[in-house]
Amino acid sequence: MQYRRAFSPGGSFFFTVVTDKRRAIFTTAEAVETLREAFRNVRRSRPFEIDAMVVMPDHLHCIWTLPPGDADFATRWRLIKTWFTKHYVPILRPKHEQALWQHRYWEHLLRDEDDFARHVDYIHYNPVKHGLAKSPIDWPYSSFRRHVEAGTYPADWGRGPMNFENTGHE
């Protein structure tokens, strides 16, 4: 089967990126900071906006908006994964374990404002969905607080059950 990716210059995309064998490698502030540095490093040479993001122990979800005329998210992901793998503290990675990432990732071209908003909600609710937090505000590795400060959400948003049928991908 030939896999086809959606390329849309200047588009906004939802991504799910999973660790190899679903290993929980993002369980420390140090590991998450290394991932943040990978993003900062790549964004210096290949800019893009991170509209929303959550880092879970074994996967991450994010929404990027690419610059006008640019549809190359694939190179950015390759560079982020490579940078993180090279800089990830070796003691945290067993010597016999080479791969840190699944080879592929899930991407979805966001079609309109409603699709965008549903995926932002999905991202921020993910720690609650997985039982890691009682509320999105309680999860430290998320853009949720930034969105609260911007007035997008009230601080107590997401405390109850929510329906995300046909949104996101694990």
Catalytic residue, chosen from 105, 122, 125, 141, is 141
Residue-wise DSSP of 102-140: -S--EEEE--SHHHHHHHHHHHHHHHHHTTS-SSGGG-S
Residue 120 sits at φ, ψ, to 5 deg, of -65, -45
3-state secondary structure of 24: coil
Amino acid at 118: R
Is 141 a known active-site residue? Answer: yes
Indicate which residues carry an active-site annotation: 141
